[in-house]
Amino acid sequence: MPAYNAALTLERTYADIPHDRIDRIILVDDVSHDETVDIARNLGLEVIIHAQNRGYGGNQKTCYDAALEAGADIVVMLHPDYQYDATRIPDLVAPIAAGRRDLMLGSRFLGDPLAGGMPTWKYVSNRFLTGVENIAFGLRLSEYHTGLRAYSRQLLETIPYHANSDDFVFDQELIAQVVAAGMRDRIGEIGVPTRYFEEASSVGFKRSVVYGLSTLRVVARYLLHRLHLRPSPKLRARR
């Protein structure tokens, strides 16, 4: 769990995790200014604390490094903001455990995100970016921009995720890397309910515009790489 100021929602998120199906829970705190660390420790989580704020992408890098070092075969990334239904984790990881997938996404758009409280402007921007990415990557996913994901160990050891941004666009760069590595058919998704409420973290409009433009740059970089016009080191899988 990549965490930043998650004190108001961490306990509820933790309570929904199916603990009989999870071996270890690691929380990486990115210099929160609330009681996130104290709550995580009281819950018995393994806590890693950054010495300085490294951003959402930087936080995930630490999460995956720690999970791989701990010997994980399947790694689930879950936002601790209670927006994503953690009870869906067994269904999320099942295709990876069965050897059919290496990356699974929990999609809010396989349901009705507007009914779950998603702001209209977020809905429209998500639909637009997802459509652009589907065209560029040759996929038919319903959502790319989710805070509930699962990865196989093999994928994380293949993809050079350390080369990615430390900001929110990290997730989109990673998907571009998976596609560039020839693993397009190893990506799947399941539906998860949408939950928007006052205590949940949410990126504001201005930051979302920056994120959207960054996502379009990821798509452009991928297309230039695929067309051999501008090869990108980020899109070269580790062998």
Name the maximum alpha-carbon separation found in the chain. Answer: 52
Q: Where are the alpha helices (DSSP H) in the chain?
A: 10-16, 36-42, 55-69, 89-97, 120-137, 153-158, 170-180, 205-226
First-to-final CA distance of the chain: 28
Strands 103-107 and 26-29: unpaired
- Number of Cβ within 10 Å of residue 233's Cβ equals 8
Contact 86, 17 (CB under 8 A): yes
CA angle centred on 14, ends 203 and 17, rounded to 5°: 105
- Number of Cβ within 10 Å of residue 51's Cβ equals 6
Q: Specify the pTM.
A: 0.94
**What local confidence, expressed as pLDDT, does residue 238 receive?**
78
Q: How many residues does the chain have?
A: 239
pLDDT-flagged residues of the chain (< 50)? none
Question: 237 is written with which tokens?
Answer: 């899988």
- Environment class of 115 (CB within 10 Å of its CB; exposed 0-12, middle 13-18, buried 19+): exposed
Instruction: Read off φ and ψ for residue 63, nearest 5 degrees.
Output: -60, -50
**What local confidence, expressed as pLDDT, does residue 239 receive?**
59
- Which residue ranges form the domains of the chain, and what is each CATH number? 72-235 (3.90.550.10)
Q: Give the integer Cα–Cα distance in Å for 112 and 144.
A: 16
**What local confidence, expressed as pLDDT, does residue 205 receive?**
78
Query: Using CA of residue 121, residue 220, residue 191, residue 153, what is the dihedral sign?
Result: negative
